[in-house]
Amino acid sequence: LECAAECGLREDELLAEVTALKTELIEERERAAAELQGAIQARIPQRLLGAIEWASNAQVPQEAVAEGSKLLAFLNRLLEDVAAANGVVERAQTLKAAQQGDVPAPLRHRPEVQLERLSVVLQAQANGDLPKLRKAIKEAQVAGVKELELANAREVFENWTALHRDTEVAASLTRTVLLRNATEKALSAGIDPSLMIWAKKTLESLCLRDKAQERLLKAIESRNVEALQTGLRYACDCNVQDRAVLRKARLLLVRMKLLRKKMERAMEDGELTRLHVMLEEVQVAPGLPQEEIEDAKGKLESLRARELAELTRRLEQAKEDKDFRALDALTSRGRSVRKSGVAIEMDILEEADALAAQCQRDEQRELVGDLHDSRFLGNNSVAALGNDDRAGPPVKIPPEHDFD
């Protein structure tokens, strides 16, 4: 235009077109410069990049474009550091630098959310809170936290989940050792003890159950009625599940009560044979414990001693009286009470038997002699009657019998 004016160019239309183009370019440059300044103030990299390109094309002064380019590089470096950061510490440091570098809040929002979610994950992991850790990992993954940052938390979560499942299985199986081991492993792995309270309570109940069962087994071994009753009641209270042990204890309790009752009755009767039989019965396994039959044994020994003394005295008396009937009865009694443990010698009984037989024979001989005397007197009387005419036919005397 300056050259055309010097040369006196009179092409009005062309001059008007060039003047309009000049005005348009000037306006474009002004708008680009204004946008560049606005982008610099907004500090948004995408907007700033577009503004720089526009300003360069619109012939904005190089100083302004250089300022925008420098700011864009600065912002990109801060945002790249924020994106590359791993872990809470690095993320916090880079976000702090971005904030100090006046990176707009919308650009820092997503990394800040990721930092918050990652912090929640680490806090849940530190607290051993399995449910919160599960939720925190899921939310962190949705927020875009890197898998590298969540790798350790995931490993811990999977380990805790497996240990917690093992604890639940052990509790369902009601196995004390398994539950104790599973609970200890879960706690040593870092699971929050408050989450394992149910397992501890279950373990305590199982320990009480095992103690109750052990107590019941000892009662079965002791065969004591009172111990069996207490053990069964305690076992039921502690939910002992071993049906075989419970059934054995109940049956044993019934038997012990019956044997004790029979023993008490035999003791009250004080009859030697019955007490002896009863003592043998109560000692047949499973029988009454020895401490419960000591009194009965003492009483039986007393009855045996009394029976022996009485039997010996009566035998001596029968021998002196030569009473074979009493001797027979006493030897029979002696053989009977020997079965009940009375310590009478068989030689004494055999001697008494021999004496009884001898006394019986002697008595029979006496009876035969008396009978002969009676017959002799009878025959003389018959002979005297035979001489009498009024007498009838003679009486026939039967032959003598051998009474031996």
Axis crossing angle, helix 176-188 with helix 197-222, rounded to the nearest 10: 150
For position 404, what pLDDT does the model report?
36
- Which residue type is seen at 256? M
DSSP state of 397: P
Angstrom distances, CA of residue 58 to CA of 43, 73, 295: 21, 21, 126
Contact 308, 342 (CB under 8 A): yes
Contact 260, 290 (CB under 8 A): no
Dump the DSSP string for 121-177: HHHHHHHT-HHHHHHHHHHHHHHT--HHHHHHHHHHHHHHHHHHHHHHHHHHHT-HH
For position 152, what pLDDT does the model report?
94
For position 399, what pLDDT does the model report?
44
Distance CA 398, CA 402 (A): 13
Two structure tokens written together for 132: 């919160």
For position 353, what pLDDT does the model report?
86
Distance CA 39, CA 56 (A): 14
Distance CA 246, CA 66 (A): 94
Instruction: Name residues of the chain where pLDDT drops below 70.
Output: 1-19, 370, 372-404
Distance of CA 130 to the CA centre of its chain: 25
For the question of whether the overall pTM of this predicted structure is more than 0.75, the answer is: no
Cis peptide before 286 (omega within 30 of 0): yes
For residue range 20-49, list pLDDT tens digits in order: 777 778 888 888 888 888 888 888 888 888
For residue range 296-310, list pLDDT tens digits in order: 899 989 988 998 899
Q: Which residue has the tokens 């004591």?
A: 224
